[in-house]
Structure 1
Amino acid sequence: MGGSVEVHGLSKSFGRQNIWHDVSLALPPGEITALLGPSGTGKSVFLKSLMGIIEPEHGQILIDGVDMVAAKESQRLELRKKFGVLFQDGALFGSMNVYDNVAFPLREHTRNSETEIRDIVMEKLDMVGLLGTEHKLPGEISGGMKKRAGLARSLVTDPEIILIDEPDSGLDPVRTSNLAQLLVDVNTATDATMLVVTHNIELARTLPDNLGMLYRRELVMFGPREEFLLTDHPVVSQFMSGDPEGPIGMSEETDHRTMDPVDYSEPPAGGGVGVMARHAGARPIEVLPHQLAPRNGNVRPSSARHRERVSSGAAPLYVADDDDREPAPPVRRPGPATRALGSTGDVFALSLDTTRATFRRPFAARETLEQFWFVVSVSWLPALLVAIPFGAVIALQLGTLTVQVGAQSFTGAASVLAVVQQAAPIVTTLVVAGAGGAAICADLGSRTIKDEIDAMRVMGVSPIQRLVVPRVLACIGAAVLLNGLVSVVGVVGGYFFNVVVQGGTPGAYLASFTALAQIADLWVGELKAVVFGFLAGIIACHRGLNTAPGPKGVGDSVNQSVVVTFLLLFFVNFVITTLYLQLVPGKGA
């Protein structure tokens, strides 16, 4: 039998907008439950709350008796291993083919051999009708195939709880029916607890054992299919019939805030199942639609338990009573200062988590090398092109100044100090942040809006350890490498312009290196490169993982990542330089 899911008094808000308040329900183990509601009522938010991806303000989510809300992240990762999740668009990893996508949870959480993994993967692909497509990338298959591949991936670990978000999204009616039949067959084979979030009426009529409906920030009804579909409740009746007349308007602002009193205490005339409501404007379904049955004459184990539970009266219909319900608590919208402090705290927390995850196993060595090569490949040429004029400007300016004060012999030393301590680390990190960091932010941002990050979390894999650590280490390594390269180019460029353009003496320029410069200057330059590279990587990853929905959200995150990194870089450079000059005495001082 599937896992146990109980929700008690759950409330969630974003800013001043309350999504839903005081939601309570229990998913009958092993049965199929559908959650309905008009668009924008927070159905997907509720689903992500069950996974522990979105944290509600109040309430409990008990997964086999363990509270997902109060659990630590390490506990949540373990609890999520009980889940299999089919996201709206499949949430397949774009860099992996179908086979590797489906095999991913097995490689992460089992010690199965590749032969065993292949047997399991091919079995699940056969179950969803995708044999022969295992070599294709997600971008090479249709939307319906992506959903089926996502379903296959959610099944490979034999989950106890299966969550399905809008399975009909983007599919034609025939493929929607096929997918619904596939879900029934999966439930028959696994006896897993299933929750389907949808606003497809036909799917809601024929697929689930139980139904619930969110409306105006409340769970207005929850109960067995037999009672839910035959109710006269005005909101449910209008939604299930698709009637434009009723309390549900075009938007929440036009929804009727009050409805005629409804008596839920009287049973329906002539018997029937459960408790029904009578309302003058309601259009109840007169005949209960036929429920989908498993193919090949199989019997769902949960269907017998469901019938027994309903006939015994152990499954009362839940109907919200607006008079008894407490009003949603007021939510204060944080001001700019609070949001800024919150973002700063999030970046600091991500920095600590990344540092800790760096020393955990398994270490993503291959991903780190690939990211390091990528950042270096997009940064080295711009860094060199910027370093040459940068070194030249420093040499020209210092050369002119030393001539004015009669200290031409120190031109070389001053140029080296300026390039190695200041110019090289700053130029390197500006390029790394502007090229590599922007690409990292865009990559993680696109993964975020396509639910790939959430899919990874649900599979019990830490995105910090798998994605953030390799990218931060890559930025640090690239910054250190390019810092040395830029330092050499800057010094050579300064030599050329000082000697050739300004007519300086080569021997004096080279001899002055040892006059004021010391080995500590080189080390402080590399230290800055390490710190700046870390900051560039962390900021890029933080903005990518917190991207707002849509392409505009990705673009805004990239812009914010670059700007914030630049501002932070100059501030940290000032702090490090000040500390260095105070703690390390100059040569000859």
Structure 2
Amino acid sequence: MGGTVEVTGLSKTYGSQNIWHDLTIALPPGEITAMMGPSGTGKSVFLKSLMGIVEPEEGEVLINGVDMVSAKESHRLEMRKSFGVLFQDGALFGSMNVYDNVAFPLREHTRKNETEIRDVVMEKLEMVGLVGQEHKVPGEISGGMKKRAGLARSLVTDPEIILIDEPDSGLDPVRTSNLAQLLVDVNVLTDATMLVVTHNIELARTLPDNLGMLYRRELVMFGPREEFLLTDHPVVSQFMSGDPEGPIGMSEEVDHRRVGPRDLSPDGPYPSDTAVLSHHARAIEVLPRQLVPRDGQPRAAAERHRERVSSGAAQLYVADDDERERARANPVRDPLTRSLRSIGNVFAFALDTIRATFRRPFAGQEALEQFWFVVSVSWVPAILVAIPFGAVIALQLGTLTVQVGAQSFTGAASVLAVVQQAAPIVTSLVVAGAGGAAICADLGARTIRDETDAMKVIGVSPIQRLVVPRVLACIGAAVLLNGLVSVVGVVGGYVFNVMVQGGTPGAYLASFTALAQLSDLWVGELKAVIFGFVAGVIACHRGLNTAPGPKGVGDSVNQSVVITFLLLFFVNFVITTLYLQLVPGKGA
């Protein structure tokens, strides 16, 4: 029998918007459950909450007795191996072909050899009708094929719990029917607990054993399919019949304003004209035939479901008026609390990155590829900025030293300013503005395509696999470019001082060797390490927490660059102050 899923008192809020409140539901083990509801009611968020990808403010989610809300992330990763998840758009890894996408969970979590892996992968690809397409990358196949490949990947480890988000999106009616039939056949073979989120009424009427509906921040109804479909509840009847007249309007915001508790009660129809309710009640008169396995063999889950219904153990749940009043509450978290929480999340993310750096396996190839990428997009801008930077510093300091009669110290002042201040700042700003922005955009695109969530479900930490290599790449690039910028800046300042300001080459070099220390060079490199770490962490954090859509990615990139710049100048001030206080000057 499949895994157990028990949800109690779950509440989730994004900013000032409450998604759902005090949500309680238990999925019958081994049975197929479908969850419906108008757009914007948080069905996909509910799926992610079950997997521990989204963290609710209140409540618990027990998966085989383990609370995914309070468990440590390492424990969550382990628990997610019992899940198979089909995301709405497939969530395939864009850099892998279809075969490698499907094989990925087996290579990560089993000791099967490649021959055994190929046998399993080809079996699943044949099951979903993708044999012959295994060599293609996701960009070369249609949306429906991506969804079928995602289903094949979700099944390779024979999961106890299968979650399916909008299985019909991107598929024509025939393939939707075939996919529904496939899900029934999978349930026969695995006896897995299955939860399907769908808007497809025909799918909801014929596929599941149980049905539920989310509406206005609450679970309106949940129970056996045969009772759910024959209800005269206004919201359920309107949704199942697709009638424009009734409590459900064009948007959730309108629904919240126009509907009261009595309007949602079967005893208090909406609108006041009872003809509307009568129309809804007549909309579902005959229980449609449920899908059966292709081979005709009995489905164990269906047998258990009939026993539960006949014994009275499975009863239809309908939200009462008191629950609706509680669901209407829309808690708004204090802005200061939200800000402090966001800052705390960044620090926690940085600590997780540091810890993950020392875990195995280490993504060495990914780190080298990212290092080469960051350096390739940063070294030219860094040099182009370093030359005028060194010249401007030489000009300013040369003019100042002439005014105070200390022209012989121009070289030392210029070189120290470049090595300690200009080089680390220029390097890190370029790394953040070029490499960091690209990293943020890449991770943001992966996030909105659900690739990072797919990694978590497979039991792979995105921090270890994606973040650590990119942060180390930013650190390595910052250290390398810091040395390059220091040389270019010093040479630029030297040339400008000697050729433009008429300085003496010997005096320029002599003052530098007289006052500079080796620790000055080390503090510049230390700054480069810290600045590179900050740039990498902020870029990755914003990328993995981007809002949906292209605009969300663009906003994350902009926030990444701005936040990094502000932090770099603050950290530079702190490090410089500590260095000047703790390290005495040469000759002091």
Q: How does 1:430-449 map to 2 (within 5 A)?
A: 430-449=429-448
Q: How does 1:80-159 map to 2 (within 5 A)?
A: 80-159=80-159
Matching residue of 1:31: 31
Amino acid at match of 1:560: Q
Matching residue of 1:527: 526
Separation in 2, partners of 1:434, 1:551: 19
Matching residue of 2:211: 211
TM superposition shift of 1:70: 2.1
1:496 aligns with 2:495: yes
Q: 1:442 to 1:224 in 2, by over 3 A?
A: same
Are the counterparts in 1 of residues 31 and 193 from structure 2 also a CA contact under 8 Å? yes
TM superposition shift of 1:492: 1.1
Matching residue of 2:239: 239
1:160 aligns with 2:160: yes
Listed one character per residue, the Cα deviations across residues 130-163 of structure 1 (whole Å, up to 9, x for unaligned) are 1111111111110000001111111111100000
Stretch moving more, 177-186 or 243-252: 243-252
CA root-mean-square deviation: 1.8
Separation in 2, partners of 1:72, 1:505: 64
Are the counterparts in 2 of residues 432 and 478 from structure 1 also a CA contact under 8 Å? yes
Separation in 1, partners of 2:149, 2:419: 52
Matching residue of 2:273: none
SS in 2 for 1:11: strand
Amino acid at match of 1:588: G
TM superposition shift of 1:246: 2.2
Matching residue of 1:194: 194
Question: How many positions carry a matched residue from both structures?
Answer: 576
Q: How does 1:436-585 map to 2 (within 5 A)?
A: 436-585=435-584
Are the counterparts in 2 of residues 80 and 459 from structure 1 also a CA contact under 8 Å? yes
Separation in 1, partners of 2:264, 2:143: 43
Are the counterparts in 2 of residues 37 and 215 from structure 1 also a CA contact under 8 Å? yes
Q: How does 1:391-402 map to 2 (within 5 A)?
A: 391-402=390-401
Q: 1:134 to 1:364 in 2, by over 3 A?
A: same
Are the counterparts in 2 of residues 384 and 489 from structure 1 also a CA contact under 8 Å? yes
Stretch moving more, 533-542 or 400-409: 400-409
TM superposition shift of 1:284: 4.6
TM superposition shift of 1:280: 7.6
SS in 2 for 1:259: helix
Amino acid at match of 2:259: H
Q: 1:281 to 1:290 in 2, by over 3 A?
A: closer
Separation in 2, partners of 1:58, 1:411: 63
Amino acid at match of 2:60: Q
Q: 1:346 to 1:415 in 2, by over 3 A?
A: same
Are the counterparts in 1 of residues 382 and 430 from structure 2 also a CA contact under 8 Å? yes
Amino acid at match of 2:143: G
Amino acid at match of 2:102: V
Stretch moving more, 366-375 or 185-194: 185-194
Are the counterparts in 2 of residues 15 and 331 from structure 1 also a CA contact under 8 Å? no
TM superposition shift of 1:548: 0.9
Q: 1:147 to 1:353 in 2, by over 3 A?
A: same
TM superposition shift of 1:4: 0.9
Matching residue of 1:319: 318
1:222 aligns with 2:222: yes
Q: 1:101 to 1:166 in 2, by over 3 A?
A: same
Separation in 1, partners of 2:333, 2:173: 44
TM superposition shift of 1:340: 2.6
Listed one character per residue, the Cα deviations across residues 369-413 of structure 1 (whole Å, up to 9, x for unaligned) are 111111001001110111111111112222222223332322221
Are the counterparts in 2 of residues 415 and 491 from structure 1 also a CA contact under 8 Å? yes
Amino acid at match of 1:15: G
Stretch moving more, 97-106 or 502-511: 502-511
TM superposition shift of 1:330: 4.6
Amino acid at match of 1:54: V
Q: How does 1:279-290 map to 2 (within 5 A)?
A: 282-290=281-289
Are the counterparts in 2 of residues 31 and 194 from structure 1 also a CA contact under 8 Å? yes
Listed one character per residue, the Cα deviations across residues 186-238 of structure 1 (whole Å, up to 9, x for unaligned) are 21221111000011101101111111111222211111111111222222111
Amino acid at match of 1:520: S
Separation in 2, partners of 1:581, 1:116: 62
Stretch moving more, 500-509 or 88-97: 500-509
Amino acid at match of 1:48: K
Separation in 2, partners of 1:173, 1:435: 45
TM superposition shift of 1:31: 1.1
Matching residue of 1:3: 3
TM superposition shift of 1:58: 2.3
Q: 1:260 to 1:42 in 2, by over 3 A?
A: closer
TM superposition shift of 1:419: 0.7
Listed one character per residue, the Cα deviations across residues 533-584 of structure 1 (whole Å, up to 9, x for unaligned) are 0000111111111111111111111111101111111111111111111111
Amino acid at match of 2:562: V
TM superposition shift of 1:74: 1.6
Matching residue of 2:274: none
Matching residue of 1:256: 259
Q: 1:281 to 1:499 in 2, by over 3 A?
A: closer
Separation in 2, partners of 1:518, 1:433: 29
Are the counterparts in 1 of residues 11 and 20 from structure 2 also a CA contact under 8 Å? yes
SS in 1 for 2:326: coil
Q: 1:218 to 1:395 in 2, by over 3 A?
A: same
Stretch moving more, 133-142 or 60-69: 60-69
TM superposition outliers: structure 1 runs of 4+ over 4 Å: 278-281, 323-326, 329-332
Are the counterparts in 2 of residues 94 and 137 from structure 1 also a CA contact under 8 Å? yes
Q: 1:237 to 1:396 in 2, by over 3 A?
A: same
Q: How does 1:67-86 map to 2 (within 5 A)?
A: 67-86=67-86
Amino acid at match of 2:116: E
Listed one character per residue, the Cα deviations across residues 69-109 of structure 1 (whole Å, up to 9, x for unaligned) are 22221221111111010011011111111111111111221
Are the counterparts in 2 of residues 231 and 284 from structure 1 also a CA contact under 8 Å? no
Separation in 2, partners of 1:493, 1:116: 61
Are the counterparts in 2 of residues 238 and 283 from structure 1 also a CA contact under 8 Å? no
- Identity, in percent, stands at 84
Stretch moving more, 340-349 or 433-442: 340-349
Separation in 2, partners of 1:374, 1:421: 26
TM superposition shift of 1:22: 2.3
Question: Which residues of structure 1 form unaligned runs of 5+?
Answer: 265-277
Separation in 1, partners of 2:574, 2:390: 23
